[in-house]
Structure 1
Amino acid sequence: MGIHVIQSGDSLWAISQKYNISIQSIITANGLESAPRIIPGLALYIPEGGAVIRSYIVKPGDTLSRIAQRFQTSVNVILSANPGIRPEWLYIGQKLNIPSPVRLSMQTLGFIVPYSPDAFLPIFRQTARSLTYIAISAYSLTKEGYAYAELEDTRIIAESKRLNVIPLLMIRNLIGGEFNAELIGGVLQNPVYRRNLILSLMNFMNQKGYGGVSLDFEFIPPPRRQDFSLFLRELKNALGSLVLHVNVHAKTEDMPTNRIIGAYDYKAIGEAADIVAVMTMDYGYPTGPPDPVAPVWWVEEVIKYSVTKIRPEKLQIALPLYGYDWRTADNLTRAYSMLAIQNMALSTGANIQYDSYAASPWFKYWRGAEEHLIWFEDIRSITEKYKLIDQYSLMGMTYWQLSLPFPQNWAFADKNFTVEKART
């Protein structure tokens, strides 16, 4: 795996010669135009052959020879990949890069809000081999707990089965496109309404052939914390072997009265659900101060807390397929896909910077008299997040959302991971 950060004087031809790879391969892997402009600071993914780089945290009792055996490599290869380390100086918590013929195996999930199946299906076909599940966000619920479809999902369900991707019915507590705390709170506190919701969900899944359900209930009132955990146990009992996937806001400590994260009892949720997806995104959020969307230091802190409550093999973290553009005068914010942001940087001639602590790229540009600041993801930042999955032995990654183009991510995933195709 190669990453090349453009320097002044670079050309695609010179880069192709350096890595012995065709210019077209570089263009395709990075979503560049056929006659691309490149700018300093732009990070390119170079899809080389050879061993993948695994990431490992040293544990009690480890030796380099045991680690080498685990990853089917040699001590000398590990020493070469980690300059400065010595076998007798290993310490618990040390992070190592491990060149290995063994790919990281994970289960992944992509979200889609199916406003336009015709536009989405070609994208789905391109990314399906990197997906275990697709969560189709087409459902909400009434105040009495009855699930109902807001968008058409039939064609995407059929295509997911053809592509060997398990479709999950995704339901959110939306009214007018906004998450509504009163709606979900009223349903969760009423045993009859909870039962209505379970029965209506099971009816839709059986009718349409879903492989399970993905819940995204946000702003649950904190007093409904135990009711939510109870609902999950009741729903899982009804689902049987079908998948219960639960999305939760990220946190680094339990704050039971907090209006955003208070209702999520990670331990109880982890016991009830088959998969828990922690939404490690929007650290930098719309209208808030310009900050990285998913800084790696924060993502790791969320993981460290989460694995004390949820078994790692049940846990997914999230990779945003978007970045945010803040107007610095008033923090007015817009979201763009990674490809759109890359094209914006190229068209404006931006000076792309990289925050090594956050492992996040950013740049400024001007629109007339308005200064804008963009935080986004690139091949450098996503590799650091995938390393965390390896280091903490997590189940895998989720992607919000699949309609947002990010060619580097899919090219990297295709070359470096084995995506499990789970069975229901």
Structure 2
Amino acid sequence: MQIHVVARGESLWRIAQRYGTDINQIVLVNQLANANLLVIGQTLVIPEPNREYVIQAGDNLWSVAQRFGVTVQELADANNINNPSLIYVGEMLIIPYFPHTIQPGETLWLIAQRYGVTINQIVQVNNIANPSLINQGQTIRIPTPDRPVIEINAYTTRVREEGRQEVLALGRNFTYLSPFTYSINADGTITEMREAPVLEATQATNTAPLLVLTNFVEGGFDSDIAAIILRDANLQEIVITNLLEKMRSKGYTGLNIDFEYVYPADRENYNSFLRRVVARLRPEGFTVSTALAPKIRGDQPGLLYEAHDYPAHGEIVDFVVLMTYEWGWAGGRPWAIAPISEVRKVLDYAVTVIPRNKILMGIPLYGRDWRIPWEEGTRARTVSPQEAVQLATSYGVAIEYDDTYQSPFFRYVDETSQEHEVWFEDARSMRAKYDTVIEYRLRGASYWVLGIPFPQNWPVLQNNFTVRQF
């Protein structure tokens, strides 16, 4: 898979010719509404012929396997497909083997070096009796190189049928699915959710569901509710008992605690609560994780940050989600949602106090559209990456890219003469984030939030990683 940035005067036909691929494959994987409408600066994911294939109408896993000379099981294993009937138009599949025709002077050692595999892998796949005896013009199969194995969590607020369909389509890309949210009450009870449809989808896709517990009340995080619970050990035991009952009855595999805007005075109380939770849940096989505000130092001031004790969480729980997004928040000035320069500052601190193999880096799947000049009290509109590109196309403006923030943006003027500034994510910005996960040797990544169309993300993820599933 390659990423192409559209230049002035380019057509999709010319781009397809350049990469030796089929136009329809590009249209499908990028879910282009109109193949004739491209905008300067737009990114396109380009599947690599013979190594990647995008599902088309009428395909099934058997027909694709036949086409590329592999078994259905090999194709399913290479793509985390638990149920061969669950494939969707527009999905990109990694082909487990691709052909190579031996050129004059080539040896298996040279071929292995070129493709990043071992001689032994090539020998086994092709049943070569004598590795020194290969013939010019002979076509052999090359196994797809191994990709780093990571874990992926995805939060979702859509828990009914619409959410179920989304998880069925995308679940092979997730380790965990976290329906948002159960909330605590002042008496130690927890609220209810009707999330059976998405939990059913996690079973079909081998995804581990995490129960998300928050102090989220009536549209916002409530510091007082958190304080009531965190300052009363008896109430905490009631909360934990209720959690265990809910997790057992609904089939959750773990707990993700997202307490935000906790009073600084409750920092140690929060740590003690986590220890109680782990002591009761871990013996029953449940994982415990937390979501943490994006801190750049231990004593960072502010209600969002002070009670989040990075070293303690790193020691107590199984893993943490760093909420490395929302720099460009709806009520603030126009900015990248997750500028990589700021994300790296958080990671630079986090890896000094939390084991790297316990960190999931937060990644946004959305963008925002601000009215400018920006005025205090105004709010940006959330847009999907697809909608952002459509806006640039509709208003005939080029998409720019900020190399410091590793994020695309553009400005346009609407029909009322109002000027706008849009920051969003594309294939380039996601590749930069995945490169950061690799560079910092993290456990993986966590998405906020499903329900926002971003078709380019999934092939970029697949091209970079193998996602661990349970």
TM-based fold match above 0.5:
yes
Find the partner of 1:343 among 390, 394, 411.
Answer: 390
Find the partner of 2:405 among 348, 358, 373.
Answer: 358
Cα distance, 1:19 vs structure 2: 0.6
Deviations 1:228-286 (A, max 9, x none): 11111111111112111211111111126521110111010011111101011011112
CA contact (8 A) 1:114 1:152 kept: no
Counterpart CA distance in 2 for 1:269 and 1:11 is 51
Q: Which residue of structure 2 aligns with residue 186 of structure 1?
A: 228
Q: Which residue of structure 2 aligns with residue 141 of structure 1?
A: 184
Counterpart CA distance in 2 for 1:14 and 1:389 is 34
- Normalised by the length of structure 1, the TM-score is 0.85
Q: Which residue of structure 1 aligns with residue 425 of structure 2?
A: 377
Counterpart CA distance in 1 for 2:287 and 2:469 is 13
Cα distance, 1:34 vs structure 2: 4.5
Residue 306 (1) aligns with residue 365 (2) = no
Q: Which residue of structure 2 aligns with residue 222 of structure 1?
A: 264
Counterpart CA distance in 2 for 1:130 and 1:227 is 36
CA contact (8 A) 1:110 1:402 kept: yes
Q: Which residue of structure 1 aligns with residue 281 of structure 2?
A: 239
CA contact (8 A) 2:291 2:322 kept: yes
Cα distance, 1:35 vs structure 2: 3.7
SS in structure 2 of the partner of residue 124 of structure 1:
helix
Cα distance, 1:158 vs structure 2: 1.8
CA contact (8 A) 2:161 2:198 kept: no
Cα distance, 1:112 vs structure 2: 0.8
Shift in alpha-carbon separation, 1:275–1:163, aligned structure 2, 3 A = same
Counterpart CA distance in 1 for 2:48 and 2:341 is 28
Cα distance, 1:29 vs structure 2: 1.9
Counterpart CA distance in 1 for 2:302 and 2:181 is 28
Q: In the alignment, residue 274 of structure 1 is paired with which amino acid?
A: D
Counterpart CA distance in 2 for 1:350 and 1:192 is 59
Q: Which residue of structure 2 aligns with residue 60 of structure 1?
A: none
CA contact (8 A) 2:175 2:467 kept: yes
Q: Which residue of structure 1 aligns with residue 81 of structure 2?
A: none
Cα distance, 1:148 vs structure 2: 1.6
CA contact (8 A) 1:114 1:138 kept: no
CA contact (8 A) 1:3 1:46 kept: yes
Find the partner of 1:168 among 207, 210, 231.
Answer: 210
Counterpart CA distance in 1 for 2:170 and 2:357 is 23
Q: In the alignment, residue 120 of structure 1 is paired with which amino acid?
A: G
Q: Which residue of structure 1 aligns with residue 315 of structure 2?
A: 271
Q: In the alignment, residue 344 of structure 1 is paired with which amino acid?
A: L
Find the partner of 1:108 among 146, 152, 177.
Answer: 152
Counterpart CA distance in 2 for 1:11 and 1:319 is 31
Larger relative strand fraction: 1
Tell which has more relative contact order, 1 or 2 (C-alpha 8 A, sep 6+): 1
Q: In the alignment, residue 213 of structure 1 is paired with which amino acid?
A: L
Counterpart CA distance in 2 for 1:25 and 1:227 is 54
- Normalised by the length of structure 2, the TM-score is 0.77
Counterpart CA distance in 2 for 1:216 and 1:242 is 17
Counterpart CA distance in 2 for 1:175 and 1:245 is 21
Q: Which residue of structure 1 aligns with residue 368 of structure 2?
A: 324
Q: Which residue of structure 1 aligns with residue 139 of structure 2?
A: none
Residue 199 (1) aligns with residue 241 (2) = yes
Find the partner of 1:208 among 246, 250, 256.
Answer: 250
Residue 127 (1) aligns with residue 170 (2) = yes
SS in structure 2 of the partner of residue 382 of structure 1:
helix
CA contact (8 A) 1:167 1:212 kept: yes
SS in structure 1 of the partner of residue 411 of structure 2:
strand
Moved more, 117-126 or 14-23: 117-126
What aligned pairs does 1:270-289 form with structure 2 within 5 A after superposition? 270-289=314-333
Rg larger in 1 or in 2?
A: 2
Q: In the alignment, residue 177 of structure 1 is paired with which amino acid?
A: G
Q: In the alignment, residue 41 of structure 1 is paired with which amino acid?
A: G
Q: In the alignment, residue 129 of structure 1 is paired with which amino acid?
A: R
Counterpart CA distance in 1 for 2:188 and 2:383 is 34
Cα distance, 1:332 vs structure 2: 2.6
Moved more, 266-275 or 25-34: 25-34
SS in structure 2 of the partner of residue 108 of structure 1:
strand
Q: Point out where structure 1 has 5 or more consecutive residues left out of the alignment.
A: 53-67, 75-99
Q: How many residues align?
A: 379
Moved more, 264-273 or 41-50: 41-50
Counterpart CA distance in 1 for 2:350 and 2:438 is 15
Counterpart CA distance in 1 for 2:232 and 2:178 is 27
Find the partner of 2:161 among 91, 111, 118.
Answer: 118
Q: Which residue of structure 1 aligns with residue 446 of structure 2?
A: 398
Q: Which residue of structure 1 aligns with residue 64 of structure 2?
A: none
Moved more, 218-227 or 26-35: 26-35
SS in structure 2 of the partner of residue 254 of structure 1:
coil
Cα distance, 1:153 vs structure 2: 1.0
Counterpart CA distance in 1 for 2:201 and 2:179 is 12
Counterpart CA distance in 2 for 1:34 and 1:206 is 47
Q: In the alignment, residue 286 of structure 1 is paired with which amino acid?
A: A
Q: Point out where structure 2 has 5 or more consecutive residues left out of the alignment.
A: 53-93, 95-111, 119-143
Cα distance, 1:73 vs structure 2: 6.3
Residue 25 (1) aligns with residue 25 (2) = yes
Cα distance, 1:36 vs structure 2: 4.2
The percentage of counterpart residues that share the same residue type is 32
Cα distance, 1:123 vs structure 2: 1.5
Q: Which residue of structure 2 aligns with residue 16 of structure 1?
A: 16
Q: In the alignment, residue 309 of structure 1 is paired with which amino acid?
A: V
Cα distance, 1:350 vs structure 2: 2.2
CA contact (8 A) 2:168 2:204 kept: no
Counterpart CA distance in 2 for 1:364 and 1:255 is 37
SS in structure 2 of the partner of residue 109 of structure 1:
strand
Q: Which residue of structure 2 aligns with residue 419 of structure 1?
A: 467
SS in structure 2 of the partner of residue 308 of structure 1:
helix
Shift in alpha-carbon separation, 1:12–1:146, aligned structure 2, 3 A = same
